[in-house]
A and B are shown apart, each in its own frame.
Chain A
Amino acid sequence: QVQLVQSGAEVKKPGASVKVSCKSSGYTFTDYYIHWVRQAPGQGLEWMGWINPNSGVTNYAQKYQDRVTMTRDTSISTAYMELSRLRYDDTAVYFCARGPGEYFDYWGQGTLVTVSS
């Protein structure tokens, strides 16, 4: 069965960076894009960008262009999302999701990133 398993919760200081992993199983990793979506406490879903695991090509939401980096390691079927220069309002749950097309059919369990001094 398809599974996306994310790394555990993180606590970071303002200005630091965080790197969240998303390990895929149950399908061919390079056949589907991986998207990253975040959700601030009590707020809605916000798309951050995608990576094509086959080519490594990325596309970031304009809001995150200068702070986010999405990478992958095909040898271990894992995608990564690194967000730099963290601010208090980056406190959120970060999700990875598989994108077979215009929609996301499987989601990771989410990773809580807390930015606190």
Chain B
Amino acid sequence: SYELTQPPSVSVSPGQTASITCSGDKLGDEYACWYQQKPGQSPVLVIYQDTKRPSGIPERFSGSNSGNTATLTISGTQAMDEADYYCQAWDSSTVVFGGGTKLTVL
């Protein structure tokens, strides 16, 4: 079965740039999206179709997807960005999530 691999954790200092990767075989051939989830809350879509930001998502969130890796980049990271982040893509008619990355802002 298809797998998406994310680092379990990423740390970043406030104001710096955080990058979270998502790896999967030929992932760049499919659209990838990203969700942010804070404790006790439902996931929120932050990037879809590789690079697009939904309305209301700050410009500091951006995405890319090429080859086998999709990347979520948060520029000028703020304390409020501390959360779990999940990538997601499709494999045939099946939805696949990455294992999630805990972003710590310290």
Contacts and interface: CB of A to CB of B under 8 A. Distances in A.
A53 interface: no
Contacts, number: 58
A35 B42 contact: no
Interface stretch (A7-15, A41-49, A74-82, A83-91): A41-49
A71 interface: no
A104 interface: yes
B88 interface: yes
A37 B37 CA distance: 13
Nearest to B44: A107
Nearest to A50: B95
Contact of B42 (A61, A101, A110): A110
Contact of A95 (B43, B88, B100): B43
Given A103-B31, A103-B33, A103-B88, A109 B97 contact: no
B99 interface: yes
A59 B31 contact: no
Contacts of A56: none
Contact of A102 (B33, B86, B98, B99): B33
Nearest to A4: B42
B45 A44 contact: no
Given A102-B48, A103-B45, A109-B42, A44 B93 contact: no
Contacts of B100: 44-45
Contacts of A101: 31, 48-49
Contact of B89 (A61, A102, A110): A102
B15 interface: no
Interface in A60-117: 61-62, 95, 97, 101-105, 107-110
17 contacts: A37-B97, A44-B97, A45-B97, A46-B97, A50-B95, A61-B94, A61-B95, A62-B1, A62-B94, A97-B43, A101-B31, A101-B48, A104-B35, A104-B88, A105-B48, A105-B54, A107-B42
Smallest CB-CB A-B distances: 3 pairs:
A47-B95, A103-B33, A103-B48
